């Protein structure tokens, strides 16, 4: 089976690339080549920017793939471009959407493929929905589409908190070590689904050239759910530290971290529990074996074994502490 990944070196796609290579799939990745050094030796590469349509057309001229997987399309324009580029070069096109596209606020759980797609809070999710609508409108018998909606997928280097510094994730661990308080928005009791990228990969590969996946959409997540309180406490346990957690209302949090508003209101501020019945029916290798809290110690060890990973975001800390101080002052004034 000949497969092309557009991207192939991201957090989710790396696991799929590695497992596909082990299964002797004839895999090629098409990307700009920035992270190709760690690819398995039997994976071929096409180094080109997918947005340079003329160059892509040139390199695809004499090539045909059973499956094309698009890992890095985020807007309708991206998938329109892909249809133009790949419609004569593949049998099946797999688009990576997002479970954040499901209706917000969440009306009921578990979330299934029948849950409406609607997210008024997050543009990222609305763009994914627009991609899906376009692909489902094609009605091209020679170009089968498959849509996959993962939720929060992680690897063994992923520090998961609702409020953290993306560029310096160790900052929140450093706060725990130094007995500085950690903030959890709301009461911390909403359920959040976390999927290890290797678990995702096993089920995902079963969709390749699977007739039952043609022109279908699938939720593909773990069955492991955790409250945000449980997640924070798993880090305290791994660090052998006494928890020091403050719960602050979401409305107050987003005044200090406005860039998080769309993500909290549009995704991780609700119970995210998914029904994976549909993907299990078509993917015999679907699995949900790796729980995030079982990997936290390994994640902490990864950062603590390499001083270069232990960078601190001082500006983030200043804003974080200002938020805590203002909330404490507000509470004292209300007493």
Residues 67 and 208: beta-carbon distance below 8 Å: yes
Give the length of the chain.
335
Q: What is the C-alpha R_g of the chain?
A: 21
Nearest to 72 by CA among 52, 50, 92, 87: 50
Query: What would the CATH number be for the domain defined by 2-154+195-219?
Result: 3.40.50.720
| Per-residue pLDDT tens listing for the chain (335 residues) | 999 999 999 999 999 999 999 998 999 999 999 989 889 999 999 999 999 999 999 999 999 999 999 999 999 999 999 999 999 999 999 999 999 999 999 999 999 999 999 999 999 999 999 999 999 999 899 999 999 999 999 999 999 999 999 999 999 999 999 999 999 999 999 999 999 999 999 999 999 999 999 999 999 999 999 999 999 999 999 999 999 999 999 999 999 999 999 999 999 999 999 999 999 999 999 999 999 999 999 999 999 999 999 999 999 999 999 999 999 998 877 75
Nearest to 162 by CA among 221, 114, 227: 227
Which CATH architecture best describes the domain 170-192+226-272+292-334?
Alpha-Beta Complex (3.90)
Residues 250 and 185: beta-carbon distance below 8 Å: yes
Domain ranges of the chain: 2-154+195-219, 170-192+226-272+292-334
Rounded Cα gap, residues 29 and 327, in angstroms: 49
On whether the pTM is more than 0.85, the answer is yes
Residues 4 and 93: beta-carbon distance below 8 Å: no
DSSP structure class, residue 274 = B
Give the tokens for residue 208: 């390749």
Rounded Cα gap, residues 261 and 170, in angstroms: 22
Tell me what pLDDT residue 335 has: 59
């Amino acid at each position: 089976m000949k497969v092309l990944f557009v991207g192939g070196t991201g957090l989710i796609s790396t696991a799929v690339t590695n497992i596909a290579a082990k299964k002797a799939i004839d895999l090629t990745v098409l990307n700009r080549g920035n992270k190709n050094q760690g690819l398995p030796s039997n994976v071929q590469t096409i180094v080109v920017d997918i947005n340079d349509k003329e160059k892509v057309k040139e390199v695809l001229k004499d090539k045909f793939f059973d499956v094309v997987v698009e890992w890095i399309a985020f807007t309708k324009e991206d998938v329109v471009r892909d249809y133009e580029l790949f419609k004569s070069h593949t049998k099946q096109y797999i688009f990576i959407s997002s479970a954040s596209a499901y209706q917000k606020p969440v009306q009921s759980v578990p979330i299934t493929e029948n849950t409406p797609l609607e997210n008024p809070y997050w543009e990222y999710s609305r763009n994914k929905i627009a991609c899906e609508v376009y692909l489902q409108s094609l009605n091209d018998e020679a170009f089968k589409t498959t849509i996959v909606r993962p939720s929060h997928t992680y690897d063994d280097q992923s520090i998961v908190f609702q409020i953290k510094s993306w560029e310096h994730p160790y900052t929140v661990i450093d706060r725990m070590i130094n007995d500085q308080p950690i903030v959890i928005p709301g009461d911390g009791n909403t359920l959040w689904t976390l999927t290890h990228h290797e678990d995702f990969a096993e089920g995902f590969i079963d969709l390749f050239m699977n007739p039952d996946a043609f022109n279908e959409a699938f939720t593909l997540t773990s069955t492991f759910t955790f409250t945000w309180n449980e997640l924070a406490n798993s880090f305290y346990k791994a660090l052998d530290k006494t928890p020091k957690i403050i719960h602050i209302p979401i409305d107050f949090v987003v005044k200090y971290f406005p860039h998080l508003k769309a993500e909290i209101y549009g995704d991780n501020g609700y119970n995210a529990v998914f029904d994976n019945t549909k993907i299990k029916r078509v993917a015999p290798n679907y699995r949900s074996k790796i729980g995030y809290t079982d990997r936290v110690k390994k994640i902490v060890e990864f950062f603590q074994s390499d001083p270069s990973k232990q960078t601190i975001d001082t500006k983030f800390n200043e804003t974080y502490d200002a938020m805590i101080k203002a909330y404490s002052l507000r509470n004292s004034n209300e007493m």
